[in-house]
């Protein structure tokens, strides 16, 4: 991540702050995507993501920060601001073509406590092990995420969900509380829905356990979820479970095998009782140094095949 230090008076908000630190980072990716459900089954895919973070520290040691994310997907027949989505099987699909900044997130932290307001991170979104087994250049629908996105989650290029996060960590323990408001942005962004979610995690050696609960008025939202992860030699294994309401549970296993310092293979398999079907995927990452990598994968999303291959570099 590249950093630029601004010590100008324009960035000094109070006499107690000597300077603000502004950093720029992100990634770019491009490649080929196959989608059996699309009219054009084989397409080019690309994404540019820029993360802008500003931070400062007060005389009493409080850390302040703010962050926005810009994202643009180059797509031959769609390029617009917004976050269009669709569902294939049980998977949450982000349709390529978005471009724009999301709404900002602000925070203050001290010790192991961070309180943020604005664009929420989402307790389940950042739950340890939730994204275990993610495959491919693009994630190929992220059907490995057992909540099916019936939770508040951080988004790019859109309003997102408005509320607050409280994150606290002390040694091996961690707690993350998220609450969103039903009247934010005149109900446009939050859809008139207010959610409260709490995730607690505990790590001991090579093992991490996490348990989360959510209160939501939406019948199909996640009620609770559980992950258990462990490292066994070169294998990282994660058990994932979520109760997504209305007699819908989703459970499975995500895994990564580290073949070498440069190459890893990841995969997942799960059962979604909401659609009485299974999802599975496998992919690889080969790091080429300097933040560059070759990535690809293939996934079966409730009978629909998706695959991708391409390059990604971090900056």
**CATH code of the domain containing 87:** 2.40.160.10
Q: Which of 163, 144, 143, 142 is nearest to 152 (CA)?
A: 163
* Residues lower than pLDDT 70 in the chain: 1-19, 75-98, 183-191
pLDDT for position 158: 74
Polymer length of the chain: 315
Containing structural domain, residue 85: 2-314
pLDDT for position 3: 47
pLDDT for position 20: 76
* CA 30/CA 124 separation, integer angstroms: 28
- Quick: pLDDT tens for 182-225: 865 444 545 578 999 999 999 999 999 999 999 999 888 999 99
pLDDT for position 181: 87
pLDDT for position 86: 47
Counted domains in the chain: 1
> Are the CB atoms for 225 and 132 separated by under 8 Å?
no
Strand, coil or helix: what is 2? strand
Backbone angle region of 141, left / alpha / beta, with phi > 0 → left and psi within -120 to 50 → alpha = left
DSSP 8-state class, residue 68: E
pLDDT for position 16: 44
Q: Residue 150 has which token pair?
A: 């019936």
């Amino acid at each position: 991540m590249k950093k630029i230090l601004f010590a100008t008076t324009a960035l000094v908000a109070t006499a107690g702050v000597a300077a603000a630190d502004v950093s720029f980072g992100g990634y770019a990716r491009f490649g080929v995507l196959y989608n059996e459900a699309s009219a054009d089954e084989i397409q080019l895919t690309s994404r540019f993501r820029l993360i802008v973070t500003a931070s400062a520290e007060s005389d009493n040691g409080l850390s302040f920060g703010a962050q926005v994310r810009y994202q643009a997907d180059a797509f031959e027949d769609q390029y617009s601001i917004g976050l269009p989505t669709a569902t294939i099987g049980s998977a949450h699909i982000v349709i390529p073509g978005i471009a724009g900044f999301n709404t900002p997130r602000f925070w203050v932290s001290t010790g192991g406590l961070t309180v943020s307001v604005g664009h929420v991170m989402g307790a389940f979104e950042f739950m340890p092990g939730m994204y275990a087994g993610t495959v491919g250049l693009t994630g190929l629908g992220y059907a490995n995420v057992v909540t099916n996105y019936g939770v508040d989650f951080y988004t790019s290029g859109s309003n997102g969900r408005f509320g607050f996060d409280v994150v606290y960590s002390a040694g091996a323990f961690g707690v993350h509380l998220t609450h969103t408001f039903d009247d934010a942005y005149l109900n446009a962004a939050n859809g008139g829905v207010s959610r409260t979610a709490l995730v607690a995690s505990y790590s001991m050696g090579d093992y991490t356990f996490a348990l989360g609960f959510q209160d939501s008025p939406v019948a199909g939202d996640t009620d609770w979820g559980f992950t258990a992860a462990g490292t066994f030699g070169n294998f990282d294994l994660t058990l994932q479970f979520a109760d997504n309401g209305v007699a819908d549970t989703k459970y499975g296993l995500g895994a990564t095998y580290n073949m070498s310092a440069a190459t890893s293979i990841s995969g997942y398999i799960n059962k979604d009782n909401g659609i009485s079907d299974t999802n599975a995927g496998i992919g690889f990452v080969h790091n080429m140094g300097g933040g560059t990598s070759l990535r690809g994968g293939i996934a079966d999303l409730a009978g629909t095949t998706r695959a991708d291959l391409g390059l990604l570099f971090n900056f």
